[in-house]
């Protein structure tokens, strides 16, 4: 997959979000880290349905779902504000599924691609090569 010049790449899991912008060309991408984004975890997302119980004793899944919903809300806002023209999302498979539930139709329209992989904490070069091979 090509990374358009100026595209934003969001790399997320249920706890972390890293944003990059392609400052290189489509054929020779150069991802540059963007400042950390504030992600609200107030929205319980679909995780609100997963109550803690003996069958599900941990609140971890609820926290991850809330983070994914907050990430989608932040990305939606940036897209609607015209700060993102092209977007690639690389996320852990379950996180990606939760993100998709919260995409605004305008975000869906500018979405270049999605990759269901957990690459948070990986090098920028590894992220670039993973996207290029997708």
- Give me the residues paired with residue 3 across strands: none
- Helix-strand-coil split of the chain, %, nearest 5: 35, 20, 45
Position of tokens 């590894």?
A: 126
- What the chain holds in terms of domains, given with CATH numbers, is 8-35+60-133 (3.30.420.60)
Q: What pLDDT tens digit does each residue of the chain (134 aa) get?
A: 999 999 999 999 989 999 999 999 998 899 999 998 888 877 554 444 445 555 554 567 788 889 999 999 999 999 999 999 999 999 999 999 999 999 999 999 999 999 999 999 999 999 999 999 98
Kind and range of the H or E run holding 119: none
């Amino acid at each position: 997959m090509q990374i358009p010049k100026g595209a934003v790449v969001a790399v997320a899991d249920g706890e972390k979000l890293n944003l990059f912008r392609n400052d290189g060309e489509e054929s020779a991408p150069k991802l540059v880290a963007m400042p950390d984004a504030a992600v609200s975890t107030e929205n319980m997302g679909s995780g609100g349905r997963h109550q803690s119980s003996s069958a599900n004793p941990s609140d971890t899944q609820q926290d991850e779902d809330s983070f994914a919903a907050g990430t989608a809300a932040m990305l939606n806002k940036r897209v609607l504000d015209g700060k993102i023209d092209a977007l690639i999302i690389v996320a852990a498979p379950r996180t990606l599924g939760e993100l998709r539930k919260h995409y605004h139709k305008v975000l869906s329209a500018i979405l270049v691609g999605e990759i269901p992989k957990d690459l948070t904490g990986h090098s920028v070069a590894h992220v670039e090569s993973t996207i290029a091979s997708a």
